[in-house]
Chains A and B, each alone.
Chain A
Amino acid sequence: MPHVEAQQRAMAINRLLSVGQLDLLRNSSGLLYRLKDTQAASKMKGSDNQEKLVYQVIEDAGNKGIWSRDIRYKSNLPLTEINKILKNLENKKLIKAVKSVAASKKKVYMLYNLQPDRSVTGGAWYSDQDFESEFVEVLNQQCFKFLQSKAEAARDSKQSPMVQRNSSFATSHEVWKYISELGISKVELSMEDIETILNTLIYDGKVEMTIIAAKEGTVGSVDGQVKLYRGVNPIIQPTGLVRTPCGLCPVFEDCCDGGEISPSTCTYMTEWLDF
């Protein structure tokens, strides 16, 4: 606004700030002013400065939310004041408290209309702070069946071994598409979610993974890499030790000759022998 003098500008800005029509922000080159939209401005009518400050702090925390102690540090207000203000704001439905999944006693505050971030609610695997283990199990089995059937199809195709192995691989993108089409999930699952499920299959020893370099832009590639998964067979049968009752015995350490628990009187052995 070149035709207005600097002093007049400053006065106008100060007045607008005090009425609450402007937001004061600072960036590296100086101060910036932003027009608050009228709806947001009307919300803060009737609140005093302290509340506005607290509201600002919570807004800055974005969708991760902020803990009450952190609000206290940032605004330098005493605890009792903070609690009163938070209660007021909650009643006005401007902020809400969300229980964090990491520490169940901790409550974080965020703006009312924001979606809590994944790290707070735990993402797709948590519904109302409960880990959905059955959901994870079902997904686990479905992914495994998909990869296993792909490996079997490749084996039955009787082509050259290189082609066989390559066709038994599935990219994480393919698995993601299959699971989405299967429709067993009520929540939208991303490719990272599917990758965590596939990782659990690796830890089960049923699946192995390789990473190959792929051109940027091929479907499903992340940073120029594509992860491939393949169903595998275990390399040994259950070992000899666990085929005996001693291998699975819960009181193995207490067993000795001539004691109360001994091989001669072992009931597990008796049952096993009569099998």
Chain B
Amino acid sequence: MTSQEVRLCGLLLQEHFGEVVEKVGTHLLRSGALSLRALAHETNTPLDLVKKSLCVLVQHGMCVFGSGRRGPGGPTEYRCLVERILYTLRFPRYIYTAKSLYGDTGELIVEEVLQRGEMTMSSVVKTVADRLTHNMEDGRSMDYSEVISAFSSLVDTHFLQRCLAACGKGNAATSSEKTPNSSAATPESLTDCYKLPQINLRGRGKRRRSSGDSDVDQRGGKRAKLENKELCGDEGVFWQVNFERFHLHFRDQAIISAVASKMDQTSSEIVRTMLRISEMTTQPNAAYTQPLSANEIFRALPASYNISRSTLDQYLTLLVDDPMEFVGKSGDSGGGMYVVNLHKALANLARATLESVVQERFGSRSARIFRLLLRKRHLEQKQVEDFAMIPAKEAKDMLYTLLSENLVQLQEIPKTPDHAPSRTFYLYTVNQLPTARMLLQHCYKTVGNLIERRLFETRENKRHLEKSQRIEAILASLQVSGAEPAQLTEVEEMITAPERQQLEALKHHINKMDSSENQVDETIFLLESYISSTKTSH
């Protein structure tokens, strides 16, 4: 892992879990695999704190452990997974996707599971029902069955999956069909990874009342105690978020929006249908989906788009002929067999990202040179000037700037065995994969910078924030104890107008930085998918 990745992971760990976990986590990242003793010794933290931090990391799936270098007899070694820590950056996107697909219930379920790392189904259902009930109007409450149905739909579409038990965790009777764990088994290979346990959970969400009726409180208290003792029948079956599935969904979304902006809405709907049909049948890192016949696509199109069969064929032909090659034709049976070229689509999206970075940073003429080099692979200085129709002096300047930023490389082809400069060809070229990797590191650094700046701004304005919090607390207590409006206004005026403005500005800044972190994360996702897809296809 690179220094930028480690720095970013450190910042994320600190934000979500605190300083101790950050210290332990970054040390583990830098040193690879360590045993518990070595870790405690090197980080100078007490052993029990180290144990607790490791527990937190393991709970969230960011740390794995296993027998170490000395074999099964020696101490277990712990390793931190960089990718899992970096996924915390993407949590808002996961929650938003769950909300758009499954509504508020889905959103809260995913949020709870993300926060706790792993949870049993019953605890998820109870917590979510309580939260939803709290936000509803008086007198209504959320039934557990609705939450259970949302949970099951999330599991059916593989957005949630069971956790593989760590060595030595006890299982309840219902999960007896669980296979013995082996480190080589992946969640996808276990068919009961998505099997819902039988739980007997009936009831409704509880509303948290600050000053409720006494009998409700009494009854609620008693019932709460009862429920704590109730076993819901799914102990030991923990659920976690299936990040890979979310990533596939994001990738599909990116491809569909690219098709929509390049061609038109109907083509993107067709591609969306194709991707939807092949959701379950395609391997995660496949270069293209399974072939789909035009008949299948026609049947699966949403009813609102009533286009005729011949129009569908025309659209498919147009998609195949498009230079971007999102869709390819793999045969003629069944009215034509079509595949979505996932790897090519990702490569095109990554290329568009690189071009956009060059364009925004250096101007559209440099972007022209960059695209020219991407197309023609290797060109001499003179040829670049001729093709791009840019005066020689300016073209030279731009090429050298791009070269110094390492976006463009120089390839020497000597004519003579001694590489005399006057007798050597110098060709400019762009390599997409290394450039994408370099930009990915830049993205990590940028997100780190944004987080740093956000923390800095919060620290700077700590005094104001504390003051405003105190005033709010005073106001709330005054309201509860029934004060006069005059007293309330007096308290409110304790915050002066410029301070109020400053607080507003601070809020605005922090929101802006948060949203830009999300935007950079989109770039990170595209580049990461492209790099991993290229790795597996070679």
Those of A224-241 within 8 Å (CB) of chain B: 232-241
Are B368 and A269 in contact, CB atoms less than 8 angstroms apart? no
Are B512 and A238 in contact, CB atoms less than 8 angstroms apart? no
Residues of chain A with a CB closer than 8 A to B372's CB? 203
Are A246 and B375 in contact, CB atoms less than 8 angstroms apart? no
Docked Cα-Cα span, A210 to B318, in Å, equals 13
Residues of chain A with a CB closer than 8 A to B361's CB? 242, 247-248
Those of B414-473 within 8 Å (CB) of chain A: 439, 442-443, 445-446, 448-450, 452-453, 456
> Is there a chain A Cβ closer than 8 Å to B519's Cβ?
yes
Nearest A residue to B259 via CB reads A235
Task: Flag B350-375 by CB within 8 Å of A: 1 or 0 each.
Answer: 00110111011100100111011001
How far in angstroms is the closest Cβ of chain B from A99?
Answer: 15
> Is there a chain A Cβ closer than 8 Å to B258's Cβ?
yes
Residues of chain B with a CB closer than 8 A to A203's CB? 368-369, 371-372, 375, 387-388
> Is there a chain A Cβ closer than 8 Å to B250's Cβ?
no
Q: Interface size class for chain B?
A: 35 or more
> Is there a chain A Cβ closer than 8 Å to B523's Cβ?
yes
Are A252 and B356 in contact, CB atoms less than 8 angstroms apart? no
Docked Cα-Cα span, A83 to B225, in Å, equals 112
Are A236 and B387 in contact, CB atoms less than 8 angstroms apart? no
Selected contact of B318 from candidates A140, A161, A238, A263, CB within 8 Å: A161
**Residue among B367, B449, B508 having the largest count of chain A Cβ atoms under 10 Å:** B449
Docked Cα-Cα span, A161 to B312, in Å, equals 9
Are A246 and B450 in contact, CB atoms less than 8 angstroms apart? yes
> Is there a chain A Cβ closer than 8 Å to B317's Cβ?
yes
Q: A204-B368, A236-B349, A238-B360 are in contact. Are A162 and B450 (CB under 8 A)?
A: no
Are B353 and A236 in contact, CB atoms less than 8 angstroms apart? yes
Docked Cα-Cα span, A30 to B527, in Å, equals 70
Residues of chain A with a CB closer than 8 A to B232's CB? none
Residues of chain A with a CB closer than 8 A to B360's CB? 238, 242, 247-248
Are B389 and A197 in contact, CB atoms less than 8 angstroms apart? yes
> Is there a chain A Cβ closer than 8 Å to B181's Cβ?
no
Q: How many A-B residue pairs have CB under 8 A?
A: 147
Docked Cα-Cα span, A171 to B75, in Å, equals 73
How far in angstroms is the closest Cβ of chain B from A145?
Answer: 16
**Residue among A247, A269, A272 having the largest count of chain B Cβ atoms under 10 Å:** A247
Q: State the majority secondary structure of interface residues on A.
A: helix
Are A160 and B368 in contact, CB atoms less than 8 angstroms apart? no
Q: Interface size class for chain A?
A: 35 or more
Selected contact of B371 from candidates A140, A205, A252, CB within 8 Å: A205
Q: A246-B445, A247-B360 are in contact. Are A240 and B389 (CB under 8 A)?
A: no
Are A199 and B349 in contact, CB atoms less than 8 angstroms apart? no
Selected contact of A244 from candidates B439, B508, B520, CB within 8 Å: B520
Residues of chain A with a CB closer than 8 A to B394's CB? 133
> Is there a chain A Cβ closer than 8 Å to B183's Cβ?
no
Are A242 and B521 in contact, CB atoms less than 8 angstroms apart? no
Residues of chain B with a CB closer than 8 A to A236's CB? 257-258, 261, 349, 352-353, 356
Are A241 and B311 in contact, CB atoms less than 8 angstroms apart? no
Nearest B residue to A273 via CB reads B509
How far in angstroms is the closest Cβ of chain B from A60?
Answer: 27
Q: A161-B314, A257-B452 are in contact. Are A235 and B258 (CB under 8 A)?
A: yes
Those of B316-361 within 8 Å (CB) of chain A: 317-318, 321, 323-324, 348-349, 352-353, 355-357, 359-361
Interface contacts beyond A131-B391, A235-B261: sample of 4 additional A-B pairs, CB < 8 Å, sorted by A: A242-B361, A244-B516, A263-B449, A274-B505
6 contacts between A and B (CB under 8 A): A199-B387, A236-B261, A239-B526, A241-B442, A252-B442, A269-B449
